[in-house]
Each structure stands twice: as structure tokens, then as C-alpha cells.
């Protein structure tokens, strides 16, 4: 007998086994909301009350099982009591599954995340289709939340406190084989038919199941929160988490608290404790920042919000990459990874081969980890042609230039490429600072010229900044946008200017660190302030990473460009530091083993340490600034310049501005991006603080006119 509601199909077979199939209308994936839960609650009640039903299989009518909670609804909650009741209501239904006295099996036919996994964990048995693309996990921490459906209580009781803590704290997603190995699921199936057959067989073989935590003899695997080994771990876990997050993210703290407190009380009390910690996070500013940007704005970008409408999507078949250095080699790898044919060109065959070898090295790592078969390596590498001949670019439908950041060199390879391919193929430059409009002058059709700014290392960094020149056509933009999505990166679209958006604003963070050093602030205080602000690395360490000598080269190139235009580049204290480090002190950065830090010799182990000569090179001021002032200067200088970029239409959407800041240079993710930082701070308060910093330290902190007007109107940055 089959009955159906809008979201749930309920079928009972001749053996009394019910199959509850979830299929939420109007959504590509099942999400936990009222439209799904109401009929699911009815189905759970029917299984529990109907004596003719012997057990139930919970599965999905969609490609995936359940993606988690409806983030739209969670984001809308502003009252802790509503969040608490929401979590408690879900747990009440999950306890009905566990305590009804009949077997429930989760037949997980695809990705199962967040609240979806919590529902599965409440079932007595879990089986998943063995597909490496399937994701299983509790990723709530990535949005500033914790699992609110019992995840912090069931997982530790299932696999142990020590084993569950990393999964909860990092939001790690596992494939089915790894999930089975770690104990999250019990069995694997090769396809849907076997999945349902195994689920039914388990129901019939286990008519009176009991969850481990409901067994009177239950003990935590590896010990509860009072066990000496666990006590030792939990004693240091908060300090380790705080060292990693600098206290900017409340979710890890709440997760650890829920795990610890849940480990010294009974299961139901632990679940209630979890609901309280969940409610606190749902209404926190951090979760609002992260959900607003890393969920809604990111999804909008990935759905093509910044792509020109009305232009048919294209698929790049063959890409030519000019320059086989670190950037070119990385671009070659990510392009070949999605099946493109790649021509990797350099001036010497040895250099081209070395660029191709970069892909081989990454593939070897995947083989070692079991992610790739050795036989797949040669097929992958056969897609990359390493060459010195421009003639080999024939047939390419996209060219990406990734040569040295020098206008003359870039112009030379542009002309040589056009001589082979003609002017109709889209030509992209991977420049990070040189204006695209100027570079496009070397090409006979500027409308086909665009910037594709990748970030290093290309295989890991998720963002590509697409730069529009003055004459770049919408068709060229669409081609670039489609390519970026084809290689599974996130594209943001910006207009042409020196440094574009990400390089320009990223530079303010590094420059402010150098300015503080020049003023006599203690270098350790500078670095710690950067980390406390939520940046991934201190500004001096970051300067070393990107190379102080590269900063000097960019500075010299900028001065030349200004001189050519009859202008003089305004002197900055950071410029003095750059020149002194490179020309006087011969400390050009990490690559040379010496910059603001000293680095262990190549091939040796050891930690980098701040160079002891810094205090002599840049004498300390007698009166050191307050730490909060250092933090404010580093954050405000970035946010103010991001607001200027938005005002100047260098970047045209709030989403691109926020996502570009987080993915492009690591702007404090808990703040939700550079413009959301202003929103959350309060535009009026932000303007006042920026103006006080400008009065004390210079015009770089002065808020732009549009921000001042927005603050007066009581508005915030919104697309």
C-alpha cells in the first residue's frame, strides 16, 4: 500500500516494512524545513502506532539523501528561544525513531550532511551507496553553527569523544568508504537496488533494535568526559582551538562544551545542553556574517550572478598557457584535471617540462593517498603538451598568459600568439597588478582581451578574479566566467584599475604592517594583532611569503607608469621599509631564506623566527600603541579601501566584494567579508572610527563619500 504527501511517499510491503521516501517539491535537494518535517513526523508516528508495520526504511526520492537544515529559515531566526525550540522539536522526533521499538534504517542514496546526517544517526542502522563523490558529515561549524539535532551527542557516543571531536570541529566531509571506516555508517551498497534490499533484510533480522546510548550497559568508546585519556585531550583542546581561531569563532568553543558536558550526563540531558549552545550560535553576529556571505552570496556568485545574461554558455576544449612557472603550471593542472587539452609553453623546453612535472608531482601525492590509480596518471599527463613552439597553440579556444609581471614581456608573447591564432581567440592575462586596458594595446582586438587573476597555489586557492578592460566585450567576459566555473573555481568580476580589487586591498594590509614597523611598533605585536584580527597570517610574514622583492618590483613599475603619465607616486612609509629591506639589508623574503623572518635552511626542519636585527633596523618606539589600535588599523585600512573600490565601481556587487576579500586574500572570514565588516560594525560607528584614525594616521583611513552618505541614511551594503 502506497500513500503520498507533497514531500513524503509512504509504502508498506507484504512483509510489513515501510519505505519512507523523501522528495521535497521545488528543491533540488531535500532540506529540513516545515514542508519536509510535517509529513515526516506523520510517517514516523504511523510506523510507531501501526502494529502491522514491522520496521521502516528512510530514503530519498532525489539523487541525494538530505542536505541539512533550510539555511534560509535558520538565518532568519533572531530570538534564541525560537532556535532552542527548533532544535528540541527535531530531537523529539528523532527520539521517537530511536525509542519506538521498531527498526529504522537510513538508506543513504547520496550526499548526507548536517541535519540529514543527524536524522540518519537516529536510525538504528545506516547504509550508503558506495560512491566516492558522495559527502557525509556535519559541516555546521563552517557557517558558525553546531549540529542542533543531537550530532554533538550521538557522534561521540557512536565513535568516541576523541574520534568525533575533529569531525565536529573541522566540519570534515567523508566519502561513504571513509565514513564506514570511521564508524558513522554500518554498510555499503553498490546501487539503489542493493541499498534497499540490504535495508529491508536488516529490518527483518533485527525486530527489536536499541541504540547503543539507550542500552543500560552503554559506555563511551574510549571513555566518557571523566576518563583520564579523554580528560587529557579535553584539557588542552580549548586552548588549541583558541590558538587556531584567536577566539573569533564561538562555534568550536560551543562544540567542545557540548561534547564535554554531554559526556558527563545522560543522553537526553546532553541533547538539551546542545540545544542551548546551538541557540546561542544561531543568533550570533558571527553566524549571521558567515551564512550571509559564505552561503547566500557565494551561492549567488556560483549561480552566475555576475555573468552577462543572454549569452550561451561555452566549454573550453583546449587552452594555451604562456609561461610554465608556478602560476602557469598550476593553471595547466587545474585545466587538465577537468579534461581540457593543455598546451604549456615556455621559452626553454626544460622550463616547459618542469611546469608539466608540477602536475606529475601532485598526481603522485594523490596516488599515495589512494585518490588516484597509477594508470590514471599517464592519461592525465597526456593532456598536457609541454613546448616552446607557438605553432603548437593551434586549435586553442582560450589563451592564458602567465609570464613575468613585465609589460614588455607580456606584449611580446601576446603578439606572437596572435600571429598563430589570429585575433578572434579570447586572450587572458594572469597579471595581478598591471591594468588590462594597457596590456590589451598589444592585441589587435581589445574586445577579446581580459584578465584572469589566479591565486597561488592555483590547485588549492578557490578564487579567480576576472578583470574587464575598457573594451572587453560581454561575450569575452562570459567565456572567461564559464572557464573559471569549468575548472571549479569561484569567479568574481571586477573593472580595470591598478591592482584591480584583490591585489590593491590586500596590499593595504601588508603596507599597514610595514607602516607600523616604521613607526616603531614591536614586530611581534604587529604579527599577533594581524592574527587576533582574524587574518590567516601576520602582515610581516605575509610580506615574506609573497616576496618583499616582488613588492619592490611592483613599486618600481608603478613609479614608471606614473612618470609616463606625468604624475608622481605619493611616498609611503611602507615604501621606505620595502627599499631598505631589499637594497640596504638584502632581505628580500622567504624564497631567499631571509626577510622579516629567518627561515631554516632548505631540507632542514625548524620554525621561522622573527629576524633579531629588526629592532636595530627599525628602532622600537618608547611608547607602544595599544593592541586594539593595531587591530583596528589593519582591519579599517582594508575595509575602507574595499569601500572605495565599491564606490569607484572597481568591484560592482557586494557579493563579489565580500567573497573576493575572504577567498582572495584571507580577510577575516568570521567578519563575512570587507563590506559585511562595515555592516556589522555599524556604518555610523565605522565612519566615526575611520575618521578618528584618518585624523591621527593619514588619509588612507578616510571613509569614502558614499559610505558617509550611506551611514547618514541608516543604510548598509546590500546587493
Q: Would you name the residues annotated as active-site residues? A: 453
- Alpha-carbon Rg for the chain in angstroms: 28
Angle, vertex CA 454, rays to CA 452 and CA 456, nearest 5: 165
Structure letter (DSSP) for residue 209: -
* 416: preceding bond cis by omega (within 30 degrees): no
DSSP annotation string for 148-204: -SSHHHHHHHHH-HHHHHHHHHH--EE-HHHHHHHTS-SEEESSHHHHHHHHHHHHH
* Alpha-carbon gap, residue 588 to 134, rounded angstroms: 45
H or E stretch covering 306: none
Which residues are CB-neighbours of 456 under 8 A, at least 6 positions away?
A: 326, 327, 330
Residue where the block lists cell 566566467: 481
Residue 259: C-alpha distances to residues 168, 246, 526 (Å): 10, 21, 35
Which residues, including other chains, have CB under 8 Å from residue 524's CB and lie 6 or more apart?
A: 610
* 516 and 530 Cβ atoms separated by less than 8 Å: no
Instruction: Give the whole-angstrom CA distance, residue 297 versus residue 183.
Output: 35
Q: Is 207 exposed, middle or buried (0-12, 13-18, 19+ CB in 10 A)?
A: exposed
Closest CA to 211 of 246, 182, 179, 186: 186
| 359 to 206, 321, 337, 340, 481: CA distances (angstroms) | 50, 14, 9, 14, 24
Strands 8-12 and 2-4, sheet pairing: antiparallel
Are 120 and 177 within 8 A, CB to CB? Answer: no
In 3-state terms, what secondary structure has residue 702? coil
Residue in the structure block whose three cell numbers are 594523490 = 366
Helix (H, G, I), strand (E, B) or coil at 41: helix
Q: How open is the CA angle 30-172-128, to the nearest 5 degrees?
A: 50
Cβ neighbours, 10 Å, residue 687: 23
> Measuring CA to CA, which residue among 389, 376, 374 is closest to residue 420?
389
Rounded distance between C-alpha atoms, residue 259 and residue 164, angstroms? 9
Q: In this structure, what C-alpha cell is assigned to residue 260?
A: 564535554
Contact 559, 579 (CB under 8 A): no
| CA angle 254–79–25, rounded 5-degree value | 90
> Phi, psi at residue 688, to the nearest 5°?
-65, -45
Compute the C-alpha angle 477/480/485, nearest 5°: 125
Coil, helix or strand for 221? coil
Alpha helices in 382-522 (DSSP H): 407-421, 436-439, 474-486, 502-519
For residue 378, give the 3-state DSSP assignment: helix
Buried b (16+ CB within 10 A) or exposed e, 509-531: bbbbbbbbbbeebbbebbbbbbb
Amino acid at each position: 500500500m502506497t500513500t503520498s504527501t507533497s514531500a513524503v511517499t509512504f509504502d508498506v510491503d507484504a512483509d510489513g516494512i515501510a519505505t519512507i521516501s523523501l522528495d521535497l517539491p521545488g528543491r533540488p535537494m531535500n532540506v529540513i524545513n516545515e514542508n519536509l518535517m510535517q509529513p515526516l513526523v506523520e510517517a514516523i508516528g504511523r510506523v510507531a502506532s501501526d502494529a502491522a508495520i514491522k520496521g521502516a526504511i528512510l530514503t530519498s526520492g532525489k539523487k541525494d539523501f538530505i542536505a541539512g537544515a533550510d539555511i534560509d529559515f535558520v538565518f532568519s531566526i533572531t530570538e534564541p528561544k525560537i532556535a532552542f525550540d527548533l532544535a528540541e522539536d527535531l530531537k523529539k522526533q528523532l527520539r521517537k525513531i530511536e525509542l519506538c521499538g521498531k527498526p529504522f534504517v537510513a538508506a543513504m542514496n547520496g550526499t548526507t550532511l548536517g541535519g540529514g546526517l543527524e536524522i540518519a544517526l537516529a536510525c538504528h542502522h545506516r547504509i550508503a551507496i558506495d560512491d566516492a563523490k558522495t559527502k557525509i558529515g556535519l559541516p555546521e561549524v563552517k557557517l558558525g553553527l553546531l549540529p542542533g539535532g543531537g550530532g554533538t551527542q550521538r557522534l561521540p557516543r557512536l565513535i568516541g569523544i576523541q574520534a568525533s571531536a575533529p569531525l565536529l570541529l573541522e566540519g570534515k566531509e567523508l566519502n561513504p568508504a571513509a565514513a564506514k571506516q570511521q564508524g558513522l555508517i554500518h554498510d555499503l551498497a553498490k546501487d539503489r537496488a542493493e541499498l534497499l534490499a540490504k535495508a529491508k533484510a536488516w529490518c527483518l533480522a533485527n525486530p527489536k533494535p536499541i541504540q547503543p546510548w539507550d542500552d543500560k550497559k552503554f559506555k563511551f568508546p574510549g571513555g566518557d568526559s571523566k576518563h583520564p585519556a579523554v580528560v587529557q585531550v579535553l584539557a588542552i583542546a580549548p586552548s588549541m582551538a583558541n590558538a587556531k581561531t584567536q577566539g573569533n569563532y564561538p562555534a568550536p568553543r560551543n562544540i567542545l562544551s557540548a561534547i564535554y558536558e554531554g559526556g558527563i550526563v545522560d543522553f537526553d540531558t546532553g541533547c538539551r545542553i546542545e540545544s542551548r549552545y546551538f541557540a546561542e550560535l544561531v543568533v550570533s553576529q558571527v553566524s549571521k556574517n558567515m551564512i550571509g556571505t559564505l552561503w547566500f552570496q557565494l551561492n549567488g556568485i556560483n549561480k552566475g550572478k555576475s555573468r552577462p545574461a543572454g549569452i550561451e554558455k561555452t566549454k573550453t576544449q583546449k587552452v594555451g598557457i604562456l609561461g610554465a612557472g608556478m602560476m602557469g603550471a598550476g593553471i595547466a593542472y587545474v585545466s587538465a584535471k577537468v579534461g581540457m587539452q593543455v598546451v604549456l609553453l615556455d621559452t626553454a623546453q626544460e622550463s616547459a617540462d618542469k611546469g608539466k612535472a608540477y602536475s606529475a608531482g601532485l598526481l603522485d601525492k594523490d596516488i599515495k593517498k589512494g585518490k588516484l590509480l597509477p594508470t590514471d596518471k599517464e592519461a592525465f599527463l597526456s593532456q598536457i603538451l609541454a613546448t616552446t613552439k607557438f605553432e603548437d597553440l593551434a586549435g586553442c579556444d582560450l589563451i592564458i598568459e602567465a609570464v613575468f609581471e613585465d609589460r614588455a614581456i607580456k606584449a611580446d608573447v601576446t603578439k606572437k600568439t596572435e600571429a598563430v591564432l589570429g585575433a578572434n581567440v579570447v586572450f587572458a592575462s594572469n597579471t595581478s597588478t598591471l591594468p588590462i586596458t594597457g596590456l590589451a594595446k598589444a592585441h589587435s582586438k581589445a574586445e577579446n582581451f581580459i584578465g584572469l587573476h589566479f591565486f597561488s597555489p592555483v590547485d588549492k586557492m578557490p578564487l579567480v578574479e576576472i578583470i574587464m578592460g575598457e573594451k572587453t566585450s560581454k561575450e569575452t567576459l562570459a567565456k572567461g566566467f564559464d572557464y573559471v566555473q569549468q575548472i571549479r573555481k569561484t569567479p568574481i568580476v571586477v573593472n580595470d584599475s591598478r591592482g584591480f580589487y584583490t591585489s590593491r586591498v590586500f596590499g593595504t594590509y601588508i603596507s599597514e604592517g610595514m607602516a607600523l614597523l616604521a613607526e616603531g611598533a614591536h614586530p611581534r605585536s604587529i604579527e599577533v594583532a594581524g592574527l587576533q584580527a582574524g587574518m590567516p597570517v601576520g602582515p610581516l610574514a605575509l610580506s615574506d611569503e609573497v616576496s618583499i622583492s616582488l613588492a619592490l618590483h611592483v613599486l618600481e613599475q608603478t613609479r614608471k607608469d606614473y612618470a609616463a603619465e606625468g604624475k608622481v607616486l605619493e611616498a609611503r612609509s611602507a615604501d621606505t621599509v620595502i627599499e631598505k629591506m631589499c637594497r640596504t639589508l638584502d632581505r628580500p623574503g622567504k624564497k631567499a631564506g631571509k626577510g622579516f623572518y629567518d627561515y631554516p635552511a632548505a631540507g632542514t626542519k625548524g620554525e621561522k623566527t622573527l629576524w633579531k636585527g629588526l629592532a636595530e633596523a627599525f628602532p622600537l618606539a618608547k611608547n607602544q600603541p595599544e593592541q586594539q589600535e593595531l587591530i583596528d588599523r589593519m582591519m579599517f585600512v582594508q575595509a575602507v579601501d574595499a569601500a572605495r573600490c565599491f564606490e569607484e565601481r572597481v568591484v560592482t556587487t557586494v557579493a563579489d566584494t565580500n567573497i573576493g576579500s575572504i577567498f582572495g586574500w584571507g580577510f577575516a572570514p568570521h567578519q563575512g567579508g570587507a563590506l559585511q565588516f562595515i555592516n556589522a560594525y555599524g556604518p555610523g560607528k565605522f565612519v566615526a572610527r575611520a575618521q578618528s584614525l584618518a585624523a591621527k594616521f593619514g588619509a588612507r583611513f578616510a571613509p569614502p563619500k558614499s559610505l558617509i552618505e550611506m551611514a547618514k541614511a541608516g543604510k548598509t551594503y546590500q546587493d
